[in-house]
Structure 1
Amino acid sequence: MKTIVEPQDRLRLLLNHKNRKMAASAHAYMRGSTRRFYEWLQQTDRVELPDGPPIWICGDCHVGNLGPIGNGNGKLAIQIRDLDQSVIGNPAHDLVRLGLSLAMAARSSDLPGVIAALMIEKMVEGYTSAFEPGAASDHSEIEVPDVARHTMHVASRRSWKRLADERIEGDAVLPLGSRFWPLSEKETVEVKRFFASEEAKQLVASLRSGSDERVRVKDAAYWRKGCSSLGRLRIAVLLQFGKGKSGRYCLMDVKEATAPAAPSDPTAEMPLDPAGRVKQGAKNLSPFLGSRMISGRLLERSVFVRELLPQDLKIEIETLSQEEAVTVAEFLARVVGVAHSRQLNAADRIRWKAELERTRQSSLEAPSWLWNAVVDLVAVHEAAYLEHCRRFALDDARRDGSFQHDEAE
């Protein structure tokens, strides 16, 4: 029998789920604690980072936020998948965040420390190669290594039927249970009103090559998905085109946008609306994703909406060998480099590449500030992870009544 989660119980269960996910490994903790990364940036005694040219950055550039993205017209490229923290800021922040993610993934995968060092070296090589004259300016032009090509192959073969098998049950409904929870009556009404708006209709029409078929909300449910964003409004909406058995479907992902933790350039002009900011970041960093996205207001919250395609996957570095991990580190950094480089003119690309090369140290083919920042952050996150596990274990024990703890300290 499935447990149905009512709206009033969501926040408590989401917090418990988030704690469990973050306790799974040090890498999982790092992925779910973006704010801790930016708290480190505010410390006066931390490693000094270079001031790169102000451009749109991911803001949460970890391994799980890069992967295959479809453009809706059959094309596929590995781009940045999550732009919740996207701002106009310092590209060095993306480099450090990616380096931390790679190092933590290596540790969680029982890869030796020397592999983490090699991953950082190759990451810098991959990133700076995107700023060379004549380098690829489009993600689809980047040569995909064999280990990532398998992920691309799987993504290219995924169909709507496969997505439906994973997300939809029976007579085209979202299966309520552990992942999908019922909406309140008010939420259901507002979702239908949102998708009846002209902007939503235009998005749907663009995704279906201008189709003028009747579109209606077939089903909708609260979606327990992600980690760092758990607790925000997240709704899966199943849209139906046409009528009866001949009707076709698409799955829309509605996600609340909030103020970013990532610091932005003080002179930057960005949309004031959080969802508008995410949408603009996606257009600049991940064109395939940005072209399938709109922003708006739902239940008095700023939200962005995209169609969920079967091809949208993440790359899991935990399953890779030592050689594959180093190769993937170089490749993913090149993906980020292309997203950054495309926003700069030739002169600014040369200046930023020269700055990265100037700060390299002879014993390690990576900028000293990057290596020192990653080492510092790994220590910070390892300690925070252990403390998180301790607190979470105590909370679990108290809830179960199986542990008596003296609160006086």
Structure 2
Amino acid sequence: MTRPEDRAERLRKIRNVKMAKSAHAYVGGSTVKFYEWLESGPGDLPQGPPVWICGDCHVGNLGPVADYKERVAIQIRDLDQTVIGNPAHDLIRLGLSLASVARGADLPGVVTAHILENLVAGYELALAGNFDDDREKALMPGSIRNLLDRSVRRRWRHLAWERFETVKPEVPLGKRFWALTDAERAALHALFQEEAVRDLVTGLQSRDRGDVVRLVDAAYWRKGCSSLGRLRFAAMAQIGDGKGASFCLIDLKEGVTAAAPRSPEASMPRDNALRVVTGARALSPKLGRRMVATRLLDKAMVLRELMPQDLKLEVDRLTSAKAKPLAAYLGGVVGSAHGRQMDPQDRSAWMKDLARGRSARLDAPSWLWASVVDLLGIHERAYLEHCRLHALPRFRTEDATACELKRAG
């Protein structure tokens, strides 16, 4: 059992091992380094109109999300890094993520060029306002359509079993869920008595606004690479009483300072949780309206209900044939998120900027190609160094233990 005082060191080891699994996993877990490297790179990036951007727009941070009426769409699903910034940063981050998946699948280098061309084509289509529901469905790759179909069929029991391996209304302690301190548990119980939390939880279509909401169980949540250095809790809440009672799973995550650079003139909430919620409502309305900014133990916290329909996009077996439509579709998702915040004049100017710097050999801006190629090389070297430092000692220990067991046997 992981003690509260041991969380930081345990999380650090888990993150390092996870980031060593693949170059793409390393890209997804190195947001701070991404912006450090981008800052030291070529300074000729276009400055798009300042809008809310994801700030960490890699493949795993897009996927199906549901609103409170359980209507599902593919949107950005992780907004921890959201700021009012340069939309070019989201394009580079997503281009790098897709290119690293292609390299991991050992696809020919020309596929990376096609990926960036289609990424920009889908993005521009959305900016032009031609990414409505009908066009979106026509462009949707089979892999996305299958994921969306699976999403809409999911129910509470699927979410509970996936997270806890049980459908009981409890948060079982183990590898992913760790014990709370007395202060954390008391603070969580008090939080669920607040009106804003009750309003959020009872907002689902099938629930009564007058229902009582109470905390049933909770634990510290070891989730992804982002838990290190911040509070993260999973909370099981009960809505209503008696036979009509229902349960929901609440994710509480501390809002921390974003690594993504913000536009100097931008006016944003100073509270990091409120920044995340405001950015989410601009970029991913279905998700943003299921979130509320609050405080817990004097920390800014983002509270959201997890819906069974929320799924992560995972691209494990990318092929040349699948790469181009996937890039175009995801470009459209991000283009819609950016474009809905721009007035016609800003959209037109940004599309002209995107059209510049293209050559007869590459139908994508030269700054995007140069940034992704440079960052691929930088990340590959950093990934190998990360493996040498964090994975090699672990595997040597495991090999030595296996040899000892073999000799003993």
- Which residue is equivalent to 2:147? 151
- After TM superposition, list the pairs within 5 Å mapping 1:174-323 onto structure 2: 174-207=171-204, 209-244=207-242, 246-323=244-321
Separation in 2, partners of 1:242, 1:140: 39
Amino acid paired to 2:88: A
Q: Once the 2 structures are TM-superposed, how far is the Cα of residue 399 of structure 1 from its aligned partner?
A: 7.8
Report if the CA contact (8 A) 1:106-1:318 is conserved: no
Matched residue SS, 1:121: helix
Amino acid paired to 2:136: I
Distance 1:114 1:296, change over 3 A: same
Q: CA RMSD in A?
A: 1.9
Q: Once the 2 structures are TM-superposed, how far is the Cα of residue 330 of structure 1 from its aligned partner?
A: 0.7
Amino acid paired to 1:52: G
Q: Which runs of 4+ in 1 moved over 4 A?
A: 397-403
Report if the CA contact (8 A) 1:59-1:83 is conserved: yes
Provide Cα deviations, 1:250-269, integer angstroms capped at 9, x if missing partner: 00000011000000001100
**Gapped runs of 5+ residues in structure 1?**
404-409
Matched residue SS, 2:81: coil
Provide Cα deviations, 1:106-159, integer angstroms capped at 9, x if missing partner: 111222222111111100100111122x4246x797223322100000101111
Under a length normalisation based on structure 1, what TM-score does the superposition of the two structures give? 0.93
Distance 1:373 1:170, change over 3 A: closer
Report if the CA contact (8 A) 2:68-2:203 is conserved: no
State the percentage of identical aligned residues. Answer: 50
Amino acid paired to 2:160: A
Matched, 1:27 2:24: yes
Q: Once the 2 structures are TM-superposed, how far is the Cα of residue 300 of structure 1 from its aligned partner?
A: 1.6
Distance 1:333 1:170, change over 3 A: closer
Separation in 1, partners of 2:322, 2:368: 22
Report if the CA contact (8 A) 1:31-1:228 is conserved: no
- Which residue is equivalent to 1:119? 115
Matched, 1:128 2:124: yes
Separation in 1, partners of 2:134, 2:258: 29
Amino acid paired to 2:89: H
Distance 1:140 1:183, change over 3 A: farther
Matched, 1:37 2:34: yes
How many residue pairs are counted as aligned between the two chains? 397
Q: Once the 2 structures are TM-superposed, how far is the Cα of residue 191 of structure 1 from its aligned partner?
A: 0.6
Q: Once the 2 structures are TM-superposed, how far is the Cα of residue 211 of structure 1 from its aligned partner?
A: 2.7
Distance 1:271 1:292, change over 3 A: same
Under a length normalisation based on structure 2, what TM-score does the superposition of the two structures give? 0.93
Matched residue SS, 2:127: coil
- Which residue is equivalent to 1:326? 324
Report if the CA contact (8 A) 1:5-1:182 is conserved: yes
**Gapped runs of 5+ residues in structure 2?**
402-409
Report if the CA contact (8 A) 1:34-1:228 is conserved: no
